[in-house]
Amino acid sequence: MKRFLAVFLVLGLFLMSAAGCAKSAGQQPTAPSVSAPQKITVYARAGIYFNTLKAVAPEFTKDTGIQVDVVEIGRDGYQDKVSTQLIGKNSAVDVVLILSNYMGQFGGGGQLEALDAYFGKGLAPQDWDINNFVPAAAKSVQYKGKTYAVPMDVSTMFLFYRKDLIPNPPQTWEEYRDVAKQFTKSVNPKSPTEFGATFQGKRQETQPKEWYNYFWSMGGEFFDANMNPTVNSDAGIKALTYIVDNYRTHKIYPPDITTYEFSEVQSAFQNGKVAMAVEWNPAYPNIASKDKSPQVYDKFAIDLVPGVKGPDGQIYRTPFMHTWTLAINSASRQKEAAFKFITWVTSKSHAKDYALSGGIPAVVDVLKDPEVQAKRPEFPMILKSFQIAKVEPDLPEYPMIHQYLSEAITLALAGEKTPKQALDDANAKIKTLLEQRGYYKK
């Protein structure tokens, strides 16, 4: 009995000592810990981008064990929401879907993670490579020699037209106006469509981007060799005058185009309201759908946007293009997991799945894939457009420049300023902005 008590006392003293040590170290006895699975949060704009990323997330989790929460954000205000999170260094979001023209602002500003250091770590799938992408798209995610995102979806603009009404699509902007007049009831009462054409006139993301198609093809450039803005050049004024005259004088556009963006233009064409439209290529699958576009699904075709005939007889046209990209928030605490996700989604195999589900991946081999082209007949025209397309200036100040141009186009459409006055004012604002940012040496 004495021996048993001695052992009991020794054991008791040992337990008390162990508890005291834990207490002195500020620790409390806990159950064995289990590692929480990695989880990343992705912001995506409503529509095909959100739908696709949401659909592939479970497969990515199955392959990698990394959970993905894809958060849907509406089209209106999307960029403002993303900008707020990035500028606020909010670590709650890891990956953002963002337009390529923000690389200068947020890449140069430190809000987006530079990806170059991750390329050699073996984190990307074997069939992923930055050289897989359309060259213009790959370049668009770089700023000052660093890569800040990976291209996910590329967009350009086509000429959509009613092939049952217009056997030969217009090749120049003059022809475009002439054909549009034929299919505008106020000009031709026998027209089967109410208006010949339309314009994305809503003061927001797309409005200046449609104007660029006209501006560039007419010889316009944003800046001269010394970085002086030149949006009010003869070409700029001619391009904006052309649009304003179509709207206010010739009335070949619907009167409410100042509320039109992608969806409204698509709807006007689907419903037989207009005979032609300069529209984003993502509209093609919807317009080609018998269920979504019963009036026109088998009565339309696409072509390159019109241009200007040069002295040599060639048509000079310059479609606009931009890239929706996947970028990593520099404040993320799950950067390697985020990098795995953005390269997995944009790898060749998964980019093909994305294309077959309705997206337009930036991967050249997928765009050229015969199986994909059989289901996406617009892809050859997309590749053709990319050969001559241009993108916005690679400047941190571009978002502000975009706002100045949108204001100018809006005022000119409303008749509050002439195209020249509107662009003169925009040009002066751009010049002042760049002066304040130190672009010009005194």
Among the ranges given (12-16, 85-89, 130-134, 161-165), the one the predictor scored with the smallest mean pLDDT: 12-16
Report yes or no: 300 and 243 within 8 Å, Cβ to Cβ.
no
Dihedral sign for Cα atoms in the order 219, 222, 223, 228: positive
Distance of CA 70 to the CA centre of its chain: 17
Pairing of strands 321-328, 95-99: antiparallel
Specify the pLDDT at position 358.
Answer: 83
- Whether pLDDT at 207 is above 60: yes
pLDDT (mean) for 83-91: 94
Cα angle vertex 239, ends 236, 240, to 5°?
A: 85
Distances, alpha carbon 284 to alpha carbons 171, 252, 275, in Å:
20, 23, 15
Q: Dig out the tokens for 6 from the structure.
A: 């001695």
Separation CA 60–CA 130 (nearest Å): 20
Q: What is the pTM of this model?
A: 0.84
Pairing of strands 300-304, 308-309: unpaired
Specify the pLDDT at position 132.
Answer: 94
76 versus 258: the higher-pLDDT residue is 258
- Say whether 44 sits in a helix, a strand or coil: strand
Separation CA 414–CA 244 (nearest Å): 9
Q: Please count the residues of the chain.
A: 442
Separation CA 308–CA 296 (nearest Å): 28
Token pair 């990307």: residue: 124
DSSP codes of every residue in 198-248: ----STTTTHHHHHHHHHHHTT--SB-TT--B-TTSHHHHHHHHHHHIIII
Q: Residue 34 — very low, low, confident or very high, per pLDDT cuts 50/70/90?
A: very low
Amino acid identity of 111?
Q
Of the CA atoms within 13 Å of residue 158, those in its CB half-sphere come to 23
Report yes or no: 327 and 143 within 8 Å, Cβ to Cβ.
no
Dump pLDDT digits (tens) for 145-191: 999 999 999 999 999 999 999 999 999 999 999 999 999 999 999 99
- Whether pLDDT at 28 is above 50: no
Separation CA 23–CA 19 (nearest Å): 6
Pairing of strands 39-45, 95-99: parallel
Q: Residue 418 — very low, low, confident or very high, per pLDDT cuts 50/70/90?
A: very high
Separation CA 25–CA 20 (nearest Å): 9
Token pair 């003169």: residue: 424
Separation CA 430–CA 222 (nearest Å): 10
Torsion angle, alpha carbons of 178, 179, 184, 187, to 10: 40
Dump pLDDT digits (tens) for 333-346: 999 999 999 999 99
Buried b (16+ CB within 10 A) or exposed e, 232-251: bbebbbbbbbbbbebbeebb
Pairing of strands 146-147, 142-143: antiparallel
Separation CA 268–CA 31 (nearest Å): 63
Q: Residue 256 — very low, low, confident or very high, per pLDDT cuts 50/70/90?
A: very high
Of 302, 308, 303, 137, which Cα lies nearest the Cα of 216? 308
Q: Residue 36 — very low, low, confident or very high, per pLDDT cuts 50/70/90?
A: low
Distances, alpha carbon 223 to alpha carbons 240, 261, 265, 323, 426, in Å:
17, 27, 30, 22, 13
Report yes or no: 385 and 158 within 8 Å, Cβ to Cβ.
yes
- Look over the chain and give the mean of its residue pLDDT values, rounded to a whole number: 91
What number of other Cβ atoms are within 10 A of residue 256's Cβ?
12
- Whether pLDDT at 246 is above 80: yes
DSSP codes of every residue in 269-309: HHTTSBSEEEEETTHHHHHT-TTT-TTTTTSEEEEE--BEE
Separation CA 325–CA 56 (nearest Å): 16
Residues 6+ apart with CB under 8 A from 213: 157, 278, 305, 317, 318, 319, 320
